[in-house]
Amino acid sequence: MSKRIKKKGISSSDLKASLKGLEKKSNSRLAYFNITEDEINQNPEKVVKELSHTVAMIPLSQISVNHDQPRKDFDEEALQELVDSIKEYGLIQPITLRRFNDKEYQIISGERRYRASKLAGLEEIPAYIRIANDQEMMEMALVENIQREDLNPIEIAITYKRLKDEFGLMQHELAERVSRKRTTVTNFLALLKLPPSIQDYVRDGEISMGHARELARLDGLQIQDYFLQKILDQNLSVRKLEALIREYKNPTPKKTASNNAIPEEYQNVEKSFQEFFGSKKHVKLKMKDTEKGKGQLVLSFNSVEELNNLLDRLDD
Protein backbone atom coordinates (compact mmCIF):
# COMPACT_ATOMS: atom_id res chain seq x y z
CA MET A 1 0.00 0.00 0.00
CA SER A 2 2.74 2.45 0.98
CA LYS A 3 4.61 1.82 -2.29
CA ARG A 4 1.54 2.66 -4.36
CA ILE A 5 0.99 5.84 -2.35
CA LYS A 6 4.55 7.03 -2.92
CA LYS A 7 4.24 6.47 -6.65
CA LYS A 8 1.29 8.85 -6.69
CA GLY A 9 3.30 11.46 -4.85
CA ILE A 10 1.25 11.40 -1.61
CA SER A 11 3.29 11.54 1.57
CA SER A 12 2.34 9.74 4.76
CA SER A 13 1.88 13.07 6.56
CA ASP A 14 -0.47 14.36 3.84
CA LEU A 15 -2.47 11.17 4.02
CA LYS A 16 -2.81 11.30 7.79
CA ALA A 17 -3.80 14.95 7.59
CA SER A 18 -6.50 14.10 5.06
CA LEU A 19 -7.83 11.37 7.32
CA LYS A 20 -7.95 13.75 10.30
CA GLY A 21 -9.88 16.19 8.13
CA LEU A 22 -12.35 13.44 7.32
CA GLU A 23 -12.74 12.60 10.99
CA LYS A 24 -13.23 16.26 11.89
CA LYS A 25 -15.87 16.69 9.20
CA SER A 26 -17.59 13.46 10.27
CA ASN A 27 -17.61 14.35 13.96
CA SER A 28 -19.21 17.70 13.17
CA ARG A 29 -22.23 15.78 11.83
CA LEU A 30 -22.51 13.04 14.39
CA ALA A 31 -25.34 14.83 16.18
CA TYR A 32 -27.46 14.40 13.05
CA PHE A 33 -27.53 10.66 13.62
CA ASN A 34 -29.17 11.02 17.01
CA ILE A 35 -32.53 10.99 15.28
CA THR A 36 -35.68 9.15 16.16
CA GLU A 37 -37.68 6.80 14.01
CA ASP A 38 -40.47 9.40 14.03
CA GLU A 39 -38.16 11.95 12.40
CA ILE A 40 -37.22 9.43 9.73
CA ASN A 41 -40.86 8.51 9.09
CA GLN A 42 -41.98 12.15 8.95
CA ASN A 43 -39.43 13.25 6.36
CA PRO A 44 -37.58 10.22 4.92
CA GLU A 45 -36.57 11.99 1.70
CA LYS A 46 -34.75 14.72 3.63
CA VAL A 47 -33.01 12.19 5.86
CA VAL A 48 -31.93 10.00 2.94
CA LYS A 49 -30.68 13.02 1.00
CA GLU A 50 -28.60 14.23 3.93
CA LEU A 51 -27.19 10.79 4.62
CA SER A 52 -26.16 10.32 0.98
CA HIS A 53 -23.28 12.80 1.37
CA THR A 54 -22.53 12.41 5.08
CA VAL A 55 -19.69 10.38 6.59
CA ALA A 56 -19.89 9.45 10.27
CA MET A 57 -17.48 7.74 12.66
CA ILE A 58 -19.32 4.67 13.95
CA PRO A 59 -18.05 2.46 16.82
CA LEU A 60 -17.19 -1.05 15.66
CA SER A 61 -19.14 -2.42 18.62
CA GLN A 62 -22.36 -1.06 17.06
CA ILE A 63 -21.77 -2.72 13.68
CA SER A 64 -22.91 -6.22 12.66
CA VAL A 65 -22.23 -8.11 9.44
CA ASN A 66 -24.85 -8.92 6.82
CA HIS A 67 -24.88 -12.72 6.53
CA ASP A 68 -26.69 -12.50 3.19
CA GLN A 69 -23.96 -10.47 1.51
CA PRO A 70 -22.62 -12.16 -1.65
CA ARG A 71 -18.95 -12.25 -0.79
CA LYS A 72 -17.93 -15.27 1.28
CA ASP A 73 -14.20 -15.70 0.57
CA PHE A 74 -11.54 -13.30 1.88
CA ASP A 75 -7.90 -13.70 0.90
CA GLU A 76 -5.94 -13.89 4.16
CA GLU A 77 -2.76 -12.36 2.73
CA ALA A 78 -4.60 -9.43 1.16
CA LEU A 79 -6.56 -8.94 4.39
CA GLN A 80 -3.34 -8.75 6.41
CA GLU A 81 -1.91 -6.18 3.97
CA LEU A 82 -5.01 -4.06 4.56
CA VAL A 83 -4.61 -4.48 8.33
CA ASP A 84 -0.99 -3.21 8.12
CA SER A 85 -2.11 -0.24 6.01
CA ILE A 86 -4.90 0.64 8.44
CA LYS A 87 -2.49 0.49 11.39
CA GLU A 88 -0.29 3.05 9.64
CA TYR A 89 -2.81 5.33 7.94
CA GLY A 90 -6.22 4.47 9.36
CA LEU A 91 -9.21 3.45 7.23
CA ILE A 92 -9.37 5.82 4.26
CA GLN A 93 -12.44 4.57 2.37
CA PRO A 94 -15.69 4.59 4.40
CA ILE A 95 -17.84 1.48 4.50
CA THR A 96 -21.62 1.61 3.93
CA LEU A 97 -24.03 0.76 6.75
CA ARG A 98 -27.74 0.33 7.23
CA ARG A 99 -29.09 2.16 10.26
CA PHE A 100 -31.43 0.31 12.63
CA ASN A 101 -31.22 2.94 15.37
CA ASP A 102 -28.58 5.29 16.76
CA LYS A 103 -26.62 2.38 18.27
CA GLU A 104 -27.23 -0.43 15.75
CA TYR A 105 -25.90 -0.67 12.20
CA GLN A 106 -25.49 -3.46 9.68
CA ILE A 107 -22.94 -3.67 6.86
CA ILE A 108 -24.22 -3.14 3.34
CA SER A 109 -20.75 -3.10 1.76
CA GLY A 110 -17.24 -3.05 3.18
CA GLU A 111 -17.06 -6.20 5.30
CA ARG A 112 -13.40 -6.72 4.35
CA ARG A 113 -12.53 -3.20 5.58
CA TYR A 114 -14.59 -3.83 8.72
CA ARG A 115 -12.73 -7.08 9.46
CA ALA A 116 -9.34 -5.48 8.86
CA SER A 117 -10.24 -2.53 11.09
CA LYS A 118 -11.11 -4.90 13.95
CA LEU A 119 -7.83 -6.77 13.50
CA ALA A 120 -5.98 -3.44 13.43
CA GLY A 121 -7.48 -2.55 16.82
CA LEU A 122 -9.62 0.41 15.73
CA GLU A 123 -12.57 1.37 17.91
CA GLU A 124 -14.54 3.28 15.25
CA ILE A 125 -14.46 3.67 11.48
CA PRO A 126 -15.87 6.12 8.90
CA ALA A 127 -19.12 5.05 7.27
CA TYR A 128 -21.88 6.18 4.94
CA ILE A 129 -25.28 5.57 6.51
CA ARG A 130 -28.30 4.31 4.59
CA ILE A 131 -31.92 3.81 5.65
CA ALA A 132 -33.53 0.86 3.91
CA ASN A 133 -35.97 -1.95 4.43
CA ASP A 134 -34.82 -5.55 4.18
CA GLN A 135 -35.48 -5.88 0.45
CA GLU A 136 -33.86 -2.56 -0.40
CA MET A 137 -30.87 -3.41 1.75
CA MET A 138 -30.39 -6.74 0.05
CA GLU A 139 -30.49 -5.14 -3.39
CA MET A 140 -28.10 -2.37 -2.32
CA ALA A 141 -25.67 -4.92 -0.86
CA LEU A 142 -25.76 -7.06 -3.98
CA VAL A 143 -25.39 -4.19 -6.44
CA GLU A 144 -22.62 -2.45 -4.49
CA ASN A 145 -20.64 -5.66 -4.07
CA ILE A 146 -20.65 -6.66 -7.73
CA GLN A 147 -19.21 -3.27 -8.64
CA ARG A 148 -16.05 -4.13 -6.71
CA GLU A 149 -13.03 -5.31 -8.70
CA ASP A 150 -11.94 -8.02 -6.27
CA LEU A 151 -14.93 -10.35 -6.68
CA ASN A 152 -14.22 -13.49 -8.68
CA PRO A 153 -16.45 -14.41 -11.66
CA ILE A 154 -18.37 -17.07 -9.74
CA GLU A 155 -19.21 -14.64 -6.92
CA ILE A 156 -20.45 -12.15 -9.50
CA ALA A 157 -22.50 -14.84 -11.26
CA ILE A 158 -24.12 -15.92 -7.98
CA THR A 159 -24.92 -12.29 -7.19
CA TYR A 160 -26.55 -11.76 -10.59
CA LYS A 161 -28.65 -14.89 -10.08
CA ARG A 162 -29.77 -13.75 -6.64
CA LEU A 163 -30.76 -10.35 -7.98
CA LYS A 164 -32.63 -11.99 -10.83
CA ASP A 165 -34.42 -14.59 -8.70
CA GLU A 166 -35.09 -12.67 -5.49
CA PHE A 167 -36.32 -9.50 -7.18
CA GLY A 168 -38.03 -11.15 -10.15
CA LEU A 169 -35.92 -9.36 -12.75
CA MET A 170 -35.75 -10.19 -16.44
CA GLN A 171 -32.22 -10.37 -17.85
CA HIS A 172 -32.49 -6.99 -19.57
CA GLU A 173 -33.78 -5.45 -16.33
CA LEU A 174 -30.92 -7.02 -14.41
CA ALA A 175 -28.43 -5.65 -16.94
CA GLU A 176 -29.85 -2.16 -16.49
CA ARG A 177 -29.79 -2.46 -12.68
CA VAL A 178 -26.09 -3.39 -12.61
CA SER A 179 -25.08 -1.14 -15.54
CA ARG A 180 -23.78 -3.99 -17.69
CA LYS A 181 -24.52 -5.18 -21.21
CA ARG A 182 -27.11 -7.92 -21.42
CA THR A 183 -24.61 -10.27 -23.10
CA THR A 184 -22.20 -9.74 -20.20
CA VAL A 185 -24.86 -10.70 -17.68
CA THR A 186 -25.78 -13.75 -19.79
CA ASN A 187 -22.15 -14.89 -19.91
CA PHE A 188 -21.81 -14.64 -16.14
CA LEU A 189 -25.04 -16.54 -15.50
CA ALA A 190 -23.87 -19.29 -17.88
CA LEU A 191 -20.97 -20.03 -15.50
CA LEU A 192 -23.44 -21.42 -12.97
CA LYS A 193 -24.33 -24.20 -15.42
CA LEU A 194 -20.85 -25.62 -14.88
CA PRO A 195 -20.41 -28.36 -12.25
CA PRO A 196 -18.99 -27.22 -8.88
CA SER A 197 -15.65 -28.93 -9.61
CA ILE A 198 -15.06 -26.66 -12.62
CA GLN A 199 -16.48 -23.60 -10.86
CA ASP A 200 -13.74 -24.06 -8.24
CA TYR A 201 -11.07 -23.65 -10.93
CA VAL A 202 -12.70 -20.37 -11.98
CA ARG A 203 -13.07 -19.18 -8.38
CA ASP A 204 -9.40 -19.92 -7.69
CA GLY A 205 -8.23 -18.20 -10.86
CA GLU A 206 -6.75 -21.36 -12.42
CA ILE A 207 -8.83 -20.88 -15.57
CA SER A 208 -10.24 -17.61 -16.87
CA MET A 209 -13.84 -16.65 -17.33
CA GLY A 210 -13.27 -16.94 -21.09
CA HIS A 211 -12.22 -20.57 -20.68
CA ALA A 212 -15.19 -21.25 -18.41
CA ARG A 213 -17.60 -19.65 -20.86
CA GLU A 214 -16.43 -22.03 -23.61
CA LEU A 215 -16.68 -25.06 -21.30
CA ALA A 216 -20.24 -24.05 -20.38
CA ARG A 217 -21.22 -24.40 -24.03
CA LEU A 218 -20.36 -28.10 -23.97
CA ASP A 219 -22.92 -30.74 -23.02
CA GLY A 220 -21.90 -33.33 -20.48
CA LEU A 221 -19.47 -33.42 -17.55
CA GLN A 222 -17.17 -35.93 -19.24
CA ILE A 223 -16.45 -33.77 -22.28
CA GLN A 224 -16.16 -30.65 -20.09
CA ASP A 225 -13.56 -32.43 -17.94
CA TYR A 226 -11.73 -33.55 -21.08
CA PHE A 227 -11.30 -29.99 -22.34
CA LEU A 228 -10.56 -28.71 -18.83
CA GLN A 229 -7.56 -31.04 -18.69
CA LYS A 230 -6.50 -29.79 -22.12
CA ILE A 231 -6.51 -26.23 -20.75
CA LEU A 232 -4.50 -27.17 -17.67
CA ASP A 233 -2.02 -29.54 -19.35
CA GLN A 234 -1.34 -27.45 -22.47
CA ASN A 235 -1.91 -23.95 -21.01
CA LEU A 236 -4.40 -23.29 -23.81
CA SER A 237 -5.42 -19.75 -24.66
CA VAL A 238 -9.14 -19.03 -24.95
CA ARG A 239 -8.77 -18.69 -28.73
CA LYS A 240 -7.04 -22.08 -29.02
CA LEU A 241 -9.73 -23.66 -26.85
CA GLU A 242 -12.43 -22.17 -29.08
CA ALA A 243 -10.73 -23.72 -32.13
CA LEU A 244 -10.49 -27.18 -30.51
CA ILE A 245 -14.13 -27.12 -29.44
CA ARG A 246 -15.20 -25.95 -32.90
CA GLU A 247 -13.27 -28.85 -34.45
CA TYR A 248 -14.86 -31.22 -31.93
CA LYS A 249 -18.38 -30.07 -32.80
CA ASN A 250 -17.77 -29.86 -36.55
CA PRO A 251 -15.00 -32.34 -37.43
CA THR A 252 -13.30 -31.94 -40.80
CA PRO A 253 -14.31 -34.88 -43.08
CA LYS A 254 -11.43 -37.25 -43.83
CA LYS A 255 -10.37 -37.25 -47.45
CA THR A 256 -10.79 -40.57 -49.25
CA ALA A 257 -7.97 -41.92 -51.34
CA SER A 258 -8.19 -41.03 -55.05
CA ASN A 259 -6.14 -41.78 -58.16
CA ASN A 260 -4.32 -38.53 -57.59
CA ALA A 261 -3.17 -39.89 -54.23
CA ILE A 262 -2.01 -43.24 -55.70
CA PRO A 263 1.78 -43.47 -56.04
CA GLU A 264 3.07 -43.59 -59.60
CA GLU A 265 4.20 -47.26 -59.46
CA TYR A 266 0.67 -48.32 -58.47
CA GLN A 267 -0.85 -46.20 -61.24
CA ASN A 268 1.39 -48.06 -63.71
CA VAL A 269 0.07 -51.41 -62.46
CA GLU A 270 -3.51 -50.15 -62.83
CA LYS A 271 -2.77 -48.98 -66.37
CA SER A 272 -1.31 -52.38 -67.31
CA PHE A 273 -4.48 -54.18 -66.15
CA GLN A 274 -6.66 -51.69 -68.02
CA GLU A 275 -4.70 -52.32 -71.21
CA PHE A 276 -4.91 -56.08 -70.70
CA PHE A 277 -8.71 -56.04 -70.35
CA GLY A 278 -9.03 -53.40 -73.05
CA SER A 279 -11.09 -50.99 -70.96
CA LYS A 280 -10.47 -48.40 -68.27
CA LYS A 281 -14.01 -48.59 -66.98
CA HIS A 282 -13.75 -52.27 -66.00
CA VAL A 283 -10.55 -51.99 -63.95
CA LYS A 284 -10.07 -49.71 -60.95
CA LEU A 285 -7.32 -49.63 -58.35
CA LYS A 286 -8.42 -48.42 -54.90
CA MET A 287 -5.88 -47.63 -52.19
CA LYS A 288 -6.79 -48.18 -48.52
CA ASP A 289 -3.42 -47.34 -47.00
CA THR A 290 -0.91 -45.71 -49.32
CA GLU A 291 1.92 -45.84 -46.77
CA LYS A 292 1.56 -49.61 -46.21
CA GLY A 293 0.68 -50.35 -49.85
CA LYS A 294 -2.73 -51.82 -49.04
CA GLY A 295 -5.57 -51.65 -51.53
CA GLN A 296 -7.90 -53.44 -53.95
CA LEU A 297 -7.93 -54.10 -57.66
CA VAL A 298 -11.60 -54.02 -58.68
CA LEU A 299 -12.91 -55.71 -61.82
CA SER A 300 -16.42 -54.44 -62.61
CA PHE A 301 -19.06 -55.72 -65.05
CA ASN A 302 -22.71 -55.07 -65.92
CA SER A 303 -23.84 -58.54 -67.13
CA VAL A 304 -22.87 -62.19 -67.22
CA GLU A 305 -21.98 -61.81 -70.88
CA GLU A 306 -19.62 -58.93 -70.10
CA LEU A 307 -18.01 -60.93 -67.30
CA ASN A 308 -17.49 -63.91 -69.60
CA ASN A 309 -15.79 -61.65 -72.13
CA LEU A 310 -13.38 -60.45 -69.47
CA LEU A 311 -12.67 -64.02 -68.37
CA ASP A 312 -12.01 -64.99 -72.00
CA ARG A 313 -9.17 -62.46 -72.00
CA LEU A 314 -7.66 -64.26 -69.01
CA ASP A 315 -7.87 -67.57 -70.90
CA ASP A 316 -6.08 -66.02 -73.88
Using the predicted structure, report yes or no on whether residue 11 has a pLDDT greater than 60: no
Query: Mean pLDDT, to the nearest integer, of 177-199?
Result: 90
Q: What rounded mean pLDDT belongs to the chain?
A: 76
Domain that holds residue 179: 153-249
pLDDT (mean) for 27-36 = 45
The residue-averaged pLDDT of 157-171 equals 84
| Rounded mean pLDDT, 217-223 | 89
pTM for the model: 0.47
Segment 179-189 mean pLDDT:
90
Mean pLDDT check: name the lowest of 166-170, 171-175, 244-248, 289-293: 289-293
Residues 175 and 58 in one domain: no
Whether 148 is in a domain gets the answer: no
Say yes or no: 10 and 127 in one domain. Answer: yes
Residue 286 has pLDDT above 80, yes or no: no
Nearest Cα neighbor of 25 from 59, 52, 55 is: 55
> CB-based contacts of 81: which residues, under 8 Å, 6+ apart?
1
Higher pLDDT, 8 or 64: 64
Same-domain check for residues 264 and 235: no
Question: For residue 223, what is the domain's CATH number?
Answer: 1.10.10.2830
22-40: average pLDDT: 48
Instruction: Kindly give, in sequence order, each residue whose CB lies less than 8 Å from that of residue 243, ignoring residues fewer than 6 positions away.
Output: none
Q: Quick one: pLDDT band at residue 26, thresholds 50, 70, 90? A: very low
CATH number of the domain that residue 53 is part of: 3.90.1530.30
**Residue 37 shares a structural domain with residue 18:** yes
pLDDT for position 62: 94
Active site residues: 111
CA-to-CA distance for 297 and 308, rounded, in angstroms? 18
Answer whether residue 102 is part of any domain: yes
Q: Which of 230, 249, 268 is the last residue of a domain?
A: 249
Query: Quick one: pLDDT at residue 135?
Result: 67
Residue 11 lies in a domain: yes
CA distance 177 to 201: 28
Distance of CA 303 to the CA centre of its chain: 68
Classify residue 176: in a domain, yes or no. yes
Which residues have a Cβ under 8 Å from the Cβ of 245 and sit 6 or more positions away? Answer: 214, 217, 218, 227
Q: CA-to-CA distance for 316 and 314, rounded, in angstroms?
A: 5
Residue % of the chain over a pLDDT of 90: 25
